[in-house]
Each structure stands twice: as C-alpha cells, then as structure tokens.
Chains A and B, each alone.
Chain A
Amino acid sequence: CHHGACHSEKEVLYYIKPGQIIYSPRTVVHPKARIIAEAGPIVIGEGNLIEEQAVIINSYPENITPESEVEPKTMTIGVNNVFEVGCVSQALKIGDNNVIESKADVGRNVILTSGCIIGAFCQVNTFEVIPENTVIYGSGCMRRIQTERPQPQTLQLDFLMKILPNYHHLKKTVKAGHTTS
C-alpha cells in the first residue's frame, strides 16, 4: 500500500521562494494539476484528491506588487477535500471534507469550513467564512444547507493510488518536502 503523496513527473510544481509545498500521506495529486506557492507556503493535509487541471495557488493579493514586502501567508488545506477537474482555488484556509467542483473559482478571501460544496462553475469571490455544510449551486450561486457532509472519497483514493503509478512515471519522493506521520 502506498505511503506518501503520489505525483508524477508531468505535473508542474513550482517551488518559488518563499513558498514551498508540504504534502501529507494519502493525498493524490493528478498529473496536470498545478499547485503554485507564490506568496507563501502551502500545507496540504491528508486524504485530499486534487484532480486534473486543478489550480491551487497562493498568490499575491491583487493590489500589491511583488517587489514590496509582504509577509508570506500560509495556505492551509485540511483533510479529505476534493478539488475537481479544472477548479481554481485561492482560498487561504480550507477545512475538511470540502468539495470544490469542476471549474469552480474560489477567491482568496473566502474561508471554507468543513463539509462545504462549491458547485460546478460557481465563482465565489466574497469576503466571508462559509458556514459548515453549505452547498453553493446554480448559476446564481444559490445556497442551501445540507444535512450530511460529503463522504470522503476513500474508495477513489485507493483506486487511484494503485492505478496511477501504472501509467505515469513517479518521481522519487523528496524528503525535505514531506512531513512524516
């Protein structure tokens, strides 16, 4: 059984100072996902599923030029989150069991707690903390509270961890970038 994060050569990971990306075990990052730590480090928890063409970016806020001194903020991502195909996430704090569906766009000032679902193609650019178990769906970004959290995708994670190495080359895991747990 796999330990450690599984990612392949085709993926583009930028290690731009001061950012570095810290992974946890049982996280699967697909090839073609982009995790960019520009303005600070990114810490990714366990059991996350980051699908193709997803973009997780810790970027500078819009009105600040890269030359000026800004304190780097860490982006934290909790456990059992799913970043579906093509989504863009800039949220600084993401809790557990969230699902960001395909082509959704989450802004920098949004804080996702746990159990939130950002629906497909919904753009959430507000300055707020999204309460637990909220579902944002539809073209008007309607909201509702659901009574159950989304289930962690353990089956999918296990499947991918077995299958992906068969089809992609694996980089040797780099010790400095890993937390052991």
Chain B
Amino acid sequence: MCRPLPRDLYRPQVGGIRVQLTLMRSCCDVLCHQGRKGEKEVDSHYCPSCLENMPSAEAKLKKNRCANCFDCPCCMHTLSTRATNIPAPLPDDPTKTAMKKAYYLACGFCRWTSRDVGMADKSVASGGWQEPENPYTQRINKLIEYYQHLAHRERQERDRQKLARRRQCMPLAFSQHTIHVVEKYGLGTRLQRQRTGAPISSLAGLSLQQGEEKKEIFIEPAQALDEVEPLPEDFYTRPISLPEVTTLRQRLLQPDFQPADVSQLHPRHKHLLIKRSLRCRKCEHNLIKPEFNPTSIKFKIHMVAMSYIPEVRIMSIPNLRLMKESQVLLTLTNPVENITHITLSACEEEDPDDINSTAKVIVPSKELILAGKDAAAEYDELAEPQDFQDDPDVVAFRKSNKIGFFLKVIPQKEDDGDVTIALKIRHDFRNLAAPLKSSEEAGDGAVDVIWLMHHVELRLGPLAS
C-alpha cells in the first residue's frame, strides 16, 4: 500500500542534495509529514552568553532576560565585567588607603563602559548592577490588572452562555480549554505568546472564586493636559553633535525610556534565546525535541526524513542534447540498517505533481536493492560482500550501502533553463518508531513494512550547447 507524499517533500538538485529538513513520522500507521504542517513550540529558554537554562515560568517572571548578563546599549554586544584597583580609605584607619577592587562593565567591541553613563563602579563582580526603573511601572501594572479582570469577566459571561445553551445543570465551570481559544489581552497559558511586563499576579491561575466576582477594580482614566512643555529656544539653531545623539535602533531597544542622548543609554539585561520543538498537527506527536542543556546540540527526538528515506544524488551528467538519449549516473544511499528495495517509475502523463519536468525519463525496470548501512563494515575485512547479481546495464557500481545506477534522459524542450526530470521512487520503510504490536503478532518478529512513494525532481543543468 503506497501513500503518496506531498511533492515538496524531497527534491534533490544539481550539484548535491538539498533535501528540505522535513520530518516524517509514523503514528498509528498514518504518515504525517512536512515541516509546514508541524507546529513550532517553545521548548526551553537559555541565555546565549552564560548558557543558563531557565524554565519558562521563571523566564516569564524575569521578562525573558538573563539575570547575570548585560547587553551593550551602544552596539548590542555582550558586556564583560572588568576590575580596576582604586585606592580607598580603610574603614578602621581613615588616613591609610588600601587598594580595593572596583568593577565596571565594558564592551569589547565599541569600547563603551558603564562609566560613560555615570554608573558608579561596584564593589561586587556580579549582582550589583541595576536596570533603571520605569517611572510609569505602577500605572501600567494597574491598567494591565484592570484589563485582565475585564477579560476574565467576559470569558465568564461567554461560558455562562455556552452552558445555558447546553441546558446542563452543572455548576459554573470555568472553561479550561484555553489552548486553542484566542484570549483577549493575553492571559497567558502555556502555549500562548508570553506577554512581557505582566505583573507577578498574573502567573497565579486566574480562577476567581464565585464570591470574588463582585470585586471591582477601579482605574482613573488618563488625563489630557492642555499645556505641553515648550521646546527650548535654540532647538532649531543649535548644531547637532552626532556622536551624542542615539541611533533609532539604540533608542528603540529601550522602549521604556527611548533616550535621545547617548549619556542616558543604560545597559539592559541580555535577552534569552529559545530552543524550539516541532509537533505534528495531525497526531500531536513530537517530531523534533531538543535537549534541555543549552550546550548540547543533540536532540531527544529527531525524526528527520534524511535518516529514513534513501538519498538520491547526481553523480555525473553527460552532455545533454535535445531529443537525444543520454545516460545520467545517479547514486542511491540507504540510511537505515536493513536492506531496502527500491523501484523507480516515470511520472505519468497527467500527474499533478509533475510541473517542472522538461525531459522524458526511462527508468530501469528492475527493482534495485540497497544493502543496509553497516557502521562496522569498514573495519571488518573478513566480511563477504553480498552478492546481489546486479545487471551491469543498470547498476554501475555498488559500495556498501550505496549503488550507482544509470538513468536514460531525453530532453524534450529547448529552454534556456535547466533540464528537469521527475520520477517516482517507491521503497519499503520499516516503522520502528511505532509501538510494537501486541505479543500475538510478535511471533513472526516482523515490524510493519510500509511502502512509500516519493516524487523526486532532479535538475540536471543546461543543455550542452
């Protein structure tokens, strides 16, 4: 039984493979596929400079910023802490001075230091640096609280109406199906985009008891002022000193203050980066899941098409002439450890996947057999090479898990572009990822064998002139 997969799954090109890193999965013997149909989720947060891992709740609390590391406000590089020795009077004896260490932040790239903005040197190496407070924090927090309260009430109303329609005599149930419902003002569930600046109270579950519904939050409306501060008199005549004016990028990286003057640029804590995991939308299984450790580049789950589907590469292309048959040498590599059987077939006339091909293709009629990938083969000199009885017209060479085979190509169109051919590859796939069947069927020791068919497009380059 073959299931055709979407056409962009697997598309080699001239000069090498460019396989889209798509994911193939078998779950309940249905094949899910395609990175585009997967859903990307935030997996873990980490700081790129100190490589500290943080759970998402803590990250949200710290507004997605690292506690230890700072960014240069001038060039956005990571700031490093430097120490100097300054003479300071001893606490016991004011007349004597001793050398004390003082720490300041400095950027190695643009040579900005914390002394440029007037930040005093600290006596501790880390933890002494504070970000300036936003003067409007209180007002913003109050507004956020008010709107969250409003949103919560609206949600309750909605739930009440839903339940009333269902006519069930259940007590008021707060709907917890918040994964897919778009929330107003971002009340923050685990799969929603995190809103920065949210006060700590929003992390607690917003489940008001029934009695608390009556609690109202009042906010003062914003007041418009009639009088605005006038511009300074020499605003239009004073020459601008460019090194003192901040660039737009520097300014907007600090949206709280947006300083126009370079002397107001304070360093900010470094932004955290995320690791993403990919999940299939149809069957909700994880396709790619990285490790939590920020220093590790490996994956816990790594279902990539390249490790299961045989790889087609172009090895040599002769001169292609219009309407003349030429032989192209392709190689097929088997990424799995068991023997794979591959059948090639040309695309049919009205194939909907076949858009780009400009040449006719004559495929070998026999089935091609690929040996399994054996990691120890190069060390094992006594191993007998398996005898596959290849047809020398079809198979050019065979080397462990790779074969080279010939394909006849007849270019049909006289285009300026590349000659493109399309074919279908059908191979057997053993579904090792699915849970093993129950013990009655384990007697034959078989794993499910599924036959997959892929549409392959190859760009062979221009016609020989």
Residues of A within 8 A of B (CB): 117, 119, 134-135, 137-138, 142-148, 150
Contacts and interface: CB of A to CB of B under 8 A. Distances in A.
A137 B116 contact: no
Interface string B73-115: 0110000000000000000000000000000000001111101
Nearest to B242: A143
Contact of A137 (B109, B243, B244, B247): B109
B243 A144 contact: yes
B110 A147 contact: no
Nearest to B116: A147
23 contacts: A117-B111, A119-B109, A119-B110, A134-B243, A135-B110, A135-B111, A137-B109, A137-B110, A138-B75, A138-B109, A138-B110, A142-B247, A143-B242, A144-B74, A144-B110, A144-B243, A145-B244, A146-B116, A147-B113, A147-B115, A148-B113, A148-B115, A150-B111
A176 to B, nearest CB: 40
Interface string B239-277: 000111001000000000000001000000000000000
Contacts of A142: 75, 110, 247
A174 B116 CA distance: 46
A1 to B, nearest CB: 24
A146 B75 contact: no
Contacts of B75: 137-138, 142
Interface of B: 74-75, 109-113, 115-116, 242-244, 247, 262
A100 B110 CA distance: 13
A144 B109 contact: no
Contacts of A147: 113, 115-116
B243 A143 contact: yes
Contacts of B243: 134, 143-145
A119 B247 CA distance: 19
Nearest to B263: A147
A137 to B, nearest CB: 4
Contacts of A138: 75, 109-110
A135 B111 CA distance: 7
A143 B75 CA distance: 11
A75 B432 CA distance: 74
Nearest to A134: B243
Contacts of B247: 142
A87 to B, nearest CB: 17
Given A138-B109, A146-B113, 4 more contacts: A135-B110, A137-B111, A144-B74, A146-B112
Contacts of B242: 143
A150 to B, nearest CB: 8
B113 to A, nearest CB: 7
Contacts of B112: 144, 146
B132 to A, nearest CB: 19
A147 B243 CA distance: 12
A144 B116 CA distance: 11
Nearest to B118: A147
B77 to A, nearest CB: 10
Contacts of B111: 117, 135, 137, 146, 150
Nearest to B241: A145
Contacts of A145: 243-244
Nearest to B110: A137
A104 to B, nearest CB: 14
Contacts of B110: 119, 135, 137-138, 142, 144
A137 B243 CA distance: 13
A7 B172 CA distance: 88
A144 B75 CA distance: 11
B393 to A, nearest CB: 57
Contacts of B116: 146-147
